[in-house]
Amino acid sequence: MSRSPKIAVKPAVRRPPRGAAPVRRRSSSLGQHMSRAFRALPVSGDLLRRIGNWGLGLFIAAGVVAGVIAMGVPQTIGLELAHGLGRMGFVVHNIEITGRKNVDADSVFRIVHTAADQQDMALVDLTAIRSQLLQFGWVQDARVSRRLPDTLAVDLVERTPAAILQRHQQLYLIDGVGHILSGGDPKTLPIQLPLVIGNGVETHIADLQALVATQPSLKQLVAGATWVGQRRWDLRFQSGETLALPEGAAEARAAYATFAAKDREERLLGRGFVRFDMRNPGSMTVRTTPEPGAKIEDPAPAPVPGAVA
């Protein structure tokens, strides 16, 4: 019996109907948004590819630069350049210092000379020199600059002395904000400056200057001041008298103005009085001897109107 041949039956393939859109695989939501964003850009695909290549190249270049810096190559190149400029004549041979009046000249020159003399100009550390100069009490500011080809210029700004501070039996020269400028032999201190005493007085120098300046007729006669109890002033005059002023800036100015007016009328200073007490508003008590109850050997001075002896 003959066998009929086997016929392989292939499963029917479903084809989309004519005119139907081809079925596409669904992409992720992020991919769809990125694709739409790039298609929305007004640039060609070729330009986008070139931008991507440039970004990759910059990233690689940044990595190379970071590696070079880590190996110290730029510092080596910088040193070689500085030495090259030095061989061309850019070396510090001259030092010019201006603005110095009171700070020790030898000390200033020693700092600058040690850091810069015969040094390649480009390698001089200007910031380090300035920092060392600012350690001097007299120096308020310092500007250090290069003047090519071979000069280093140092311009100093010094503080202005305002008073002599007495503390722990030592004398110090201070400026208007209480910064200590120097200390040492009293013979070297300016005698025209007032001697100030009292706990915390260095922080009130500007207040004292403002008070004394309100009465020009007495300004040159003030020899010093004591900050009493951290709340008020006792002024000392060159003729030996002491004026006790009340608390408060306004009250002290008013009492000082009254005293100046009476001094113009009656010449209170230089007549042998010891102390004028104006701590109570509207009144002035005058002490005629160094100690209460002491015997008065000299003739009593003329009475002061409105004062109680």
> What is the signed CA dihedral for 37, 40, 44, 49, rounded to 10 degrees?
0
Which residue type does 160 have? Answer: T
From 72-76, 242-246, 253-257, 260-264, the region with the lowest mean pLDDT: 72-76
Residue written as token pair 């002033």: 233
Tell me, what's the pLDDT at 302?
40
Domain with CATH 3.40.50.11690 in the chain: 161-308
Task: Quickly name the fold that domain 85-158 has.
Answer: Ubiquitin-like (UB roll) (3.10.20)
Q: Please report the sign of the dihedral spanned by the C-alpha atoms of residue 200, residue 201, residue 202, residue 204.
A: positive
Report whether pLDDT(81) > 50: no
Report the percent of the chain where pLDDT is more than 70.
Answer: 64
Burial of 244 (0-12, 13-18, 19+ CB in 10 A): buried
The reply to whether CATH 2.60.40.4070 applies to domain 161-308 is no
Work out the pLDDT band at 159, boundaries 50, 70, 90: very high
| pLDDT tens digits along 215-228 | 999 999 999 999 99
Which residues lie closer than 8 Å to 300 by C-beta, 6 or more apart? 288
Sorting pLDDT into bands at 50, 70 and 90, what band is 48?
Answer: low
Mean pLDDT, all residues of the chain: 78
The two beta strands, 170-175 and 180-183, are: antiparallel
Q: Is 309 helix (H, G, I), strand (E, B) or coil?
A: coil
pLDDT category at 188 given cuts 50, 70, 90 is confident
What's the confidence (pLDDT) of residue 289? 78
Q: Render pLDDT for 260-300 as a digit per residue (tens, 0 to 9).
A: 999 999 999 999 999 999 999 889 999 987 765 554 444 34
**For residue 1, is pLDDT > 80?**
no
pLDDT category, 140, cuts 50, 70, 90? very high
CA 278 – CA 214 distance, rounded (Å):
17
Residue ranges, CATH 3.10.20.310, the chain: 85-158
> For 90-105, what is each residue's pLDDT tens digit?
688 899 999 999 999 9
Check residues 269 and 303 and name the one with the higher pLDDT: 269
